[in-house]
Chains A and B, each alone.
Chain A
């Protein structure tokens, strides 16, 4: 059963901590994405990657960085966590753009920054 796996379902961190969110997919997909989802705002794209070591900023990259050293793994890094980064973080992957992209999401990480 193909899937996208996020390392943590719930995470509680303190302001100023460095936070790593890990995502692994087993479908050999080229594209991987990090979104955050907040009530009333929907899903907003933070960063995405079309290939190993390649990354592109999404709509809200400030305060975040990413790493893609291997095709199957895409990490989201909060360099210095702040309370406004409390959110649900969703990782997704998809095959190369064909004009008919479909995303497969991980189960999400609910991050609370205190």
Chain B
């Protein structure tokens, strides 16, 4: 079983739509959670951290559900420029290798 799992998509949505992705993690001791964005043939870039109380940055909202062990990313009013792959990252405090990446969810926003 993978440590972090994401639906690979693709999610094809029209401009202006609201879209949500989930990411499940297997280790209940996970401590930190992030969403990264990766454009085609580019490097991943940090989009936002995910806090226990949830957090919002403009059109983007990230939430954490510890009981069900998943995090979510909600994008409102989708723009063409939101088209990218969104990577979920989970970290553990223990263990030398303490970052786990999901394989990513691909989003395409259609005009």
Contact yes or no, B32 A42, CB < 8 A: no
- A99 and B31 in contact (CB under 8 A), knowing A42-B104, A56-B96, A59-B97? yes
Contact yes or no, A48 B46, CB < 8 A: no
Which of the residues A42, A56, A106 comes within 8 Å of B101, measured between beta carbons? Answer: A42
Which B residues, 81 to 110, have Cβ-Cβ distances below 8 Å to chain A? 87, 89, 91, 93, 96-99, 101-104
**Residues in B whose Cβ lies below 8 Å from that of A108:** 41-43
Contact yes or no, A90 B43, CB < 8 A: yes
Contact yes or no, A48 B101, CB < 8 A: no
Chain A contact-residue range equals 20 to 34
B25 on interface, CB distance cutoff 8 Å: no
- A106 and B98 in contact (CB under 8 A), knowing A99-B32, A100-B49? no
Chain B contact-residue range equals 20 to 34
Contact yes or no, B98 A105, CB < 8 A: no
Interface of A is mostly: loop
**Residues in B whose Cβ lies below 8 Å from that of A58:** 97
B35 CB to nearest A CB, Å: 11
B45 on interface, CB distance cutoff 8 Å: yes
A45 on interface, CB distance cutoff 8 Å: yes
With most chain A CB atoms within 10 A of its CB, the pick from B34, B87, B97 is B97
CA distance A40 to B97 in the complex (A): 20
Contact yes or no, B96 A102, CB < 8 A: no
CA distance A60 to B45 in the complex (A): 23
Contact yes or no, B43 A102, CB < 8 A: no
CA distance A108 to B46 in the complex (A): 15
Interface residues of chain A, those whose CB is within 8 Å of chain B, are 40-43, 45, 48, 56, 58-59, 90, 97, 99-108, 110
Interface residues of chain B, those whose CB is within 8 Å of chain A, are 8, 31-32, 34, 36, 41-46, 49, 87, 89, 91, 93, 96-99, 101-104
User: Which 3 A-B pairs give the minimum distances between C-beta atoms?
Assistant: A42-B103, A105-B43, A43-B101
